[in-house]
Amino acid sequence: MRKVPTSLLLLFLVLSPHAVRAQSTNASITGRVTDPSKATIAEAKVAAVDLGTNFRYETSTNGAGGRDR
């Protein structure tokens, strides 16, 4: 088995936390809520759920069937 140089291992350990902090938790969802005739639905309630954490975000659409808040 090949040995990893100590300096390379130390460099990896020092830089690892920086890579973890670079991850982002921001996201966005866009779209319009429409009925079967393609007309937009104002004040429709919309929910997004993260199935991994069960975190739920709820909002409602604007007058154009979208969300601009």
pLDDT at 37: 94
- Average pLDDT value for residue range 31-50: 88
Rounded to the nearest 5 percent, the helix, strand and coil shares of the chain are 25, 20, 55
Domain count, the chain: 1
Rounded distance, CA 46 to CA 30, Å? 11
Does any domain span residue 27?
A: no
- Average pLDDT value for residue range 26-47: 86
Residue with tokens 């009925």, as numbered in its chain: 35
Does any domain span residue 41?
A: yes
Rounded distance, CA 37 to CA 40, Å? 9
The parent domain of residue 43 ranges over 32-69
pLDDT at 36: 93
